[in-house]
Each structure stands twice: as C-alpha cells, then as structure tokens.
Chains A and B, each alone.
Chain A
Amino acid sequence: MSSCREIGLALALLTAGAVQAQATAYPGVGRTATQSEVAAWDIDVRPDFKGLPSGAGSVAKGMEVWESKCASCHGIFGESNEYFSPIVGGTTQADLATGRVARLNDAAYPGRTTLMKLSTVSTLWDYINRAMPWTAPKSLSTEEVYAVTAFILNLGGVVPDDFTLSDRNIAEVQRRLPNRNGVTTAHALWPGAAFGRRKPDVLAAACMQDCAAEPRLASFLPDFARDAHGNLAEQNRSVGAQRGADTRKPADAGVRVAAAATPVQAPPQAAAPKAAVADAGAAAAIALTQKHQCVACHSIDARIVGPAFRDVARKYAGRADAAAYLAGKIKSGGSGLWGGIPMPAQALGDADAKLIAQWLAEGAKK
C-alpha cells in the first residue's frame, strides 16, 4: 500500500534529517548565532574550568584593584558586614587539609563567610567576572578578575602573598579550598535524575485525632519587637473580618476596643494641601534618585558608598547657592569631599539635576 510506503519514507526522513526538520518547523523564526555573539555572552565558568579564559593575575595586583574598587563595600580585608555578608573569615589552615570548614559546626560563630561556603574556586572567579564590582559589573579585565580572586584567596590563607593565579594553576588551588569537600547532593530536592533519585528526608504523618501532646509555646516575638516591622494597623485592609493590630500601643491595651472605635480610617485626601505639595516635590526628587541610580551609592539616612543625602543636605544647609552648586556637582561628579571613593560625573538632564539638588538643599525630606 502506498500509505505504508509513505509512512516508511516519512520515518526515514525524520531519522536522517531530524535536525533539519526541527530547524525548519518554525520558518522565519530565529537565526544562527555568530561565533562572536556566542563568545560575547557565553561567559560562564564551570567547576571543571570549562569556559575559563586563559590569563593570570597576582595577589599584589589584586590588592590594588581591591582597594580601589571593592574595599568600599567589602572592607579592606573582605571582612565587612556593613552592606553584604563578609567574604573572608572563619576558615583555618587545618580546614585546607581536610577540605571541610570546621566552624560550620559552631552554631555560635556569627554568620557564614563566602570562603566558609565556597566549594569550587571557579564559582568565585565567575562571580567576580559577571557581577562585580556591584555598581559596575563586567567592567574588570580578565587579569583583574584573576588578581582579585587571588587576593581573596590570599586573605583566607589559601595562597601565599607572592602568588599569581592563572588558568594553569587554578586546579591546584581548587585542591586547597577550605570547604571543597563541604557540599552534598544527597537530597530529594533536585527534580532530575543526575544525582540519584531519593525519597523526601522529612517524613510526617497526617494524624487527625488526639495527635500531639498538649501544645506548649516555645517562641514568639517579645513585646519590645512588637513594632519592629512598623504599625501593623497600616499593613492590613481597613475593611473585612480583621483589622491590623495597632502596634504603636502595648499588646494588652484593649486592642479590640481601639479597633472598634475606628472602623474605617478616613481617606488620606483630607491632609493639609501645603504639606501635600511639599511631599509631592520630595516624592518626585526621590523618584529621580531611583531613576538615575543615585540610590546605588546613596541613601537618604545612611552612608552607603557615598554620603547619605541628609548629610549632604546638612553640609550645605547654610549656603545660599546650595541648589545651584549641588546641581553642578551632580553633573560633574567629584572626589575628596566625602572620602576616597570618587563620584563619577552623572549623565542626567539639567532639569532632573536641579530638581534633585533643590530637594537636597531643602533638607532631603522623605
């Protein structure tokens, strides 16, 4: 029968030209990537060092890069806990021999540093290469990435002061990592077969009656933390089965009566018009600081990489031309006034710069 022959022919075509057939299943959609395009984006480095570009960088060079581009967030010795979890600390020379970080068993040790967790050195290289420095990722040269990796490993005592890390010796460094033997894939949470199929580790039963013993309270928030997440009355719907608890008041001060007395809060439109206008100006300026990424380095109340907006406001509070001066500084950038980290010139429009500067000059109100 001809239909049989057709099926046979179709099968033969499918087998022989499977790739071709698949590539043309959606004609006009997608194109072959060029080698340069793949090279530009395929930057991942695997634990077996597939993807690692050839090159080298010394601990000494790494220290230079670190102090100019990394230390402001991570601390001179990678120990800072101010913005991110510390990178260095918690590992010992004994760990280098075992490949297991002993302090991971010490519940009293505060936090876990990058080096305590790091099991593959490729990860550290890849992390720095793709995502660091935090505000200018992918800006480091290959030599700088090797150098910063070497410097961090040197801070952790993994490589000596005069070491130069390269694609030729990185496998040896891997064999010295303090936590290289510290990971396991023996769990049931990988939804594939590659690490072996396992049953869930925590097994519970669905008892329905007279199950547990009399329940006892083991933990709850202490009263002093009652307001730590703000007033919960303002975080719940003002209509419905429940209200939010007014956490500005102590816990046992007749919460139910208080909630009943104010069933629905008055809409906010009743606010004084003048205050509303001022708030709108501040809101617009704050929005601009977010739009132009100022907030990557500055916050309103606290120093990040650069000074707090409030500190800038205070410094220039007495200056009559503060708004014009600050608008100029935003555009030109500067260094030395607030510490060693320079602020780059900002490419934003005059109108936006003036609005932000005006807001700063008026005290950087929220």
Chain B
Amino acid sequence: MNTPGRLTRAPENFLDAAQIAEVQAGRRGFLRAAFAAAAGVAAAAPWNAAAQQGAGDPAILELPEHSKGLGQPVAARPYGMPSQYEKNLQRRESPGLTRVGASSVSFAPLQGLFGIITPNGLHFERHHQGWWDVDPSGHRLMINGSDDKIVKRPLVFTMDELMRLPSVSRFHFIECGANTGMEWGNVAVPTCQYSHGMLSCSEFTGVPLKILLDMAGVDYRRGRFVLGEGADGSSMTRTVPMELVESGEVIVAYGQNGEMLRPENGYPLRLVVPGVQGVSWVKYLRRIEVGDKPYGSKDETIHYVELMPGGLHRQYASLQECKSVITTPSGGQVLLDQGFYNISGLAWSGRGKVRRVDVSVDGGRNWRTARLESPVLSKCLTRFNLDWVWDGKPTLVQSRAIDETGYVQPTYKQLRAVRGTRSIYHNNAIQTWLVQESGEVKNVQLS
C-alpha cells in the first residue's frame, strides 16, 4: 500500500508507446512535443519589467523601514542565526527512504550553498542509532591492539589531553558511500539536495592519528589495519588501512569550521579519513584498535557492501572516486528568464586534487572547461563556474570532473556497464539536468 508522501520509485519504462517512439526519434522531436505547452511562456516579459515603469522602482523610491529606524543591538542573538529569509535552506529527509528517524539521513541543501564550505548547521546527517550530545569531560579515547605485541602500551586520553597535542587543520569533503545511491537504476529524486546532498565539506581540526599510535608504540609491520569505534549505542566500527594513517592524513578531530564538532557530527571527537566514505569517519570516537587483519564489522559486511553483476558483494570498498555535480541550475529550480547565468557546481575526488572540470550544455556532445575557484585542495570540494547564456531552449546540462590521477568521471552508461544497477554505493556518474523551456529544471538520465 502506498503511504502518502512515501516515494514510489519511477518504473524503468513509464513512457507510453507513442512517447517511446518519439524518444527513439531523438531528443529534438521529443522535447518539442513535451514542452510545446510551455512555449508561449518563453515570450513573456522579463520579471522585473514592471518595476522599471513610471518614475522607477518603489524599492528605490520609497525608503524602507531599515533605512529610517534604529536596528538591533549587538549580541541580540548571542549565537548568530541566518536571516529569516533563508529558512528554505535546511537539511531534509527524503520521504520513504527510511522508516525511523534515529536510523536515517538528512541531506545538505547543496542547491543553495556557495563556495566549498558547508555551514555546520547544514552539514548532512547520518545516524545509525540516534545522535547524542556527549559530555566532553567524561569522554575518553583508548588506543589498543588486537594483541599485546601490536601495541606495546595501550593508552587512554582525555579530551583535555588530546587538545594539548600538536594540532592540524585541514579542509576535506565527507561523502556518504550511498550518496546518489537512489539513482543507480533510474531517476528517483527531484533535486540535488536529495541526489547529492550526503556530501559536506569542512575545515577539521585535530591530532594526526599517527602521533597517538607512535605514542602507544605500534608495530607498523604487522599492524596494517586500524579500527575506529564509536561511543554511542551503535558503536560504529570500520576498518581503515594503515597507509592512510602513516601518510598523516587521518585525524582524530574535535574542531569543525572554527568551532567544536556539532553533536550531530560526533561531538566531541570523530575520526577524519580523507577521501574515504563517511561511514569510516566514526563519530563519538572512543577507541582505536590496531590489528593484523580486517575486522568484518557490521558496517563493512552486512551494510556498505556493493552488489555486483554476478552476485558477488564488494567488501571494504571505501574510497570515493572522482565526481561532480552542477548545483545551479539544478533539479527543482526555475530559471526566471533567458540570458546570462553562471553555471556553478562542486567537484571532488577521494584520490587527491581535482585537475579539471568540463561542462556540457548539449547532453554530452560538446564540452567546455570550467574555471576552478581557489583553493583547489586534496580530497576537498572544489567549486567550479562557467559562463552561460540560456537561449530559452531545452538544454541538457552536465559536468564531468577529472582528478590528478587522470581518472575521468564516467557516464551512467559506462558505470552500469561494469557495476550494474544494484550496487547502492559509490555512484559517481555524471549528473544531467534538463532545463526545460518553462525554465523549470528536471533531474533526468540519458540513455
């Protein structure tokens, strides 16, 4: 039975026979038919034309209250909040995706974010057994080994002690392995908040895990696997390769964008594993174990395994490959008029820096290279922009990222040819948005 509000997946073949025939005839014929009804609208006057009539714009001619009165005092809101006009941008759940709020996902509103940093209050959430606001005075981090020889001296740290150690601050993206997972088979969600919003990027501050492991006296020859474990009810555990710790990249982090981590993001301590899917960034981190074998934990054996054609599941698939998405214009938005627009989006790679992003406005036949905005950092979101003049015609907009290893973001066709459609995880295919003649942007996939 369908519950109101619960998403029903789009069937693969929901076009009728006549429409299929038109689709097979190619894009132009089909789109012309589909959007003929909206064609009259395209000729409408610019939306602000009315304001230019007469003596001029009332927004200029009639002074507003804020020009004629006294404003608010300092610290009226001791922890500042966004403008009341920004309420539309919130993290949101995808209806029907999960059934209990404490084991669910809320998506970051990428469609309205600028630059590369995610405001802490809009960072995506994924909880397996609810979130907690943990008292830092009682929080401990333990380092131990799977046997007595791998770690010579098991250690315990308080938060006070961890925050005394040499710290680093680094910008990294965090992406859930299941980001874009609903779109493997077909289009299932309307906007980039739901298609790509299990993605955020912060400046994290903390201690390189290597420092703590050195203090404990780790046998790096035998200890090639690192287990992170959370202090919350689910006590999340994930295996991380020692190589990433040895590189100095893995951080035991307490800071996020200048303040402490938010409770929803693991306050007071979380693991930061750059380039690796979010589930390995264990929140409420209470323990690190160094071992000589991988751990086969619940979230790397029962969950977060990827079904491949042939029926095998990939295990320990952790890295987030190069990916990009245009955030403006994007699904569910409406362009107000023809003319100039700045196509803008995000690109990232778990293997390093983004080297280049190309943008197509004709469904992937021709591409132009976008501007990468600084900074361009390793395993971090990179903002790209490209000038574009919309002529009012149906337009298929795509972005394609290439990272410093030369890896090229694939199309759905290329990705599915290797991995099928039932993987759930690690969907990094090129996203297509269709700007319709009405100005409304639609999430579409191409054959």
Contact = CB atoms under 8 A, between A and B. Distances in A.
Interface stretch (A27-35, A60-68, A332-340): A27-35
A230 B88 CA distance: 12
Nearest to B321: A200
A74 interface: no
Contacts of A212: 363-365, 411
Nearest to A134: B129
Nearest to A21: B214
B371 interface: no
B165 A29 contact: yes
B86 A237 contact: yes
Given A217-B27, A225-B10, A194 B241 contact: yes
A207 B408 CA distance: 10
B313 A237 contact: no
B394 to A, nearest CB: 10
A267 B336 contact: no
A270 to B, nearest CB: 11
B414 to A, nearest CB: 5
Contact of A260 (B27, B95, B336): B336
Interface stretch (B252-260, B262-270, B304-312): B304-312
Interface stretch (A5-13, A117-125, A322-330, A351-359): A117-125
B196 to A, nearest CB: 14
B120 interface: no
A361 to B, nearest CB: 24
Interface stretch (B64-72, B168-176, B187-195): B187-195
A241 B339 CA distance: 11
B380 to A, nearest CB: 16
A105 B332 CA distance: 35
B347 interface: no
A107 interface: yes
A188 B319 contact: yes
B80 to A, nearest CB: 18
Interface string A109-132: 000101001111011101100110
A214 B310 CA distance: 31
Contact of B408 (A42, A204, A216, A263): A204
A192 B293 CA distance: 13
Interface in B10-39: 10, 12, 14, 23-24, 26-28, 30, 35, 37-38
Contact of A189 (B99, B295, B317): B317
Given A42-B289, A209-B366, A119 B315 contact: yes
Contacts of B88: 234-238, 244
Interface in B115-159: 128-130, 142-144, 146-147, 152-157
B210 to A, nearest CB: 11
Given A31-B155, A38-B154, A296-B102, A208 B298 contact: no
B422 interface: yes
Contacts of A216: 23-24, 26-27, 30, 446-447
Given A216-B27, A237-B112, A263-B47, A101 B311 contact: yes
A255 B313 contact: no
B442 A220 contact: yes
Interface in A183-209: 183-185, 187-195, 200-209
A221 to B, nearest CB: 6
Given A221-B187, A236-B332, A260 B47 contact: yes
B92 A235 contact: yes
Q: Give the bracket for the number of chain A residues in contact with chain B.
A: 35 or more
Given A202-B414, A216-B447, A244-B333, A210 B365 contact: yes
B167 interface: no
Given A47-B296, A219-B186, A22 B27 contact: no
Contacts of B317: 187, 189-190
Given A191-B244, A256-B438, A268-B84, A201 B153 contact: no
B367 A211 contact: yes
Interface string A32-44: 1100011001111
A192 B241 contact: yes
A228 interface: yes
A100 interface: yes
Contacts of A244: 88, 332-334
B312 A184 contact: yes
Interface in A139-167: none
B271 to A, nearest CB: 14
Contact of B358 (A32, A82, A208, A254): A208
Contact of B342 (A188, A201, A230, A241): A241
A220 B329 contact: no
Contacts of A363: none
A188 to B, nearest CB: 7
12 contacts: A30-B161, A41-B287, A42-B289, A123-B301, A137-B233, A183-B301, A202-B414, A202-B418, A210-B366, A224-B8, A228-B5, A243-B336
Given A217-B23, A256-B440, 14 more contacts: A44-B289, A47-B294, A82-B99, A190-B241, A202-B419, A204-B414, A206-B367, A206-B400, A208-B367, A218-B446, A220-B187, A235-B193, A295-B102, A299-B101
Interface of A: 18-19, 22-23, 25-26, 28-33, 37-38, 41-44, 46-48, 50-51, 82-84, 100-102, 104-105, 107, 112, 114, 117-120, 122-124, 126-127, 130-131, 134, 137-138, 179, 182-185, 187-195, 200-212, 214-222, 224-226, 228-230, 232, 234-245, 247, 251-252, 254-257, 259-260, 263-264, 267-269, 293, 295-296, 299, 304
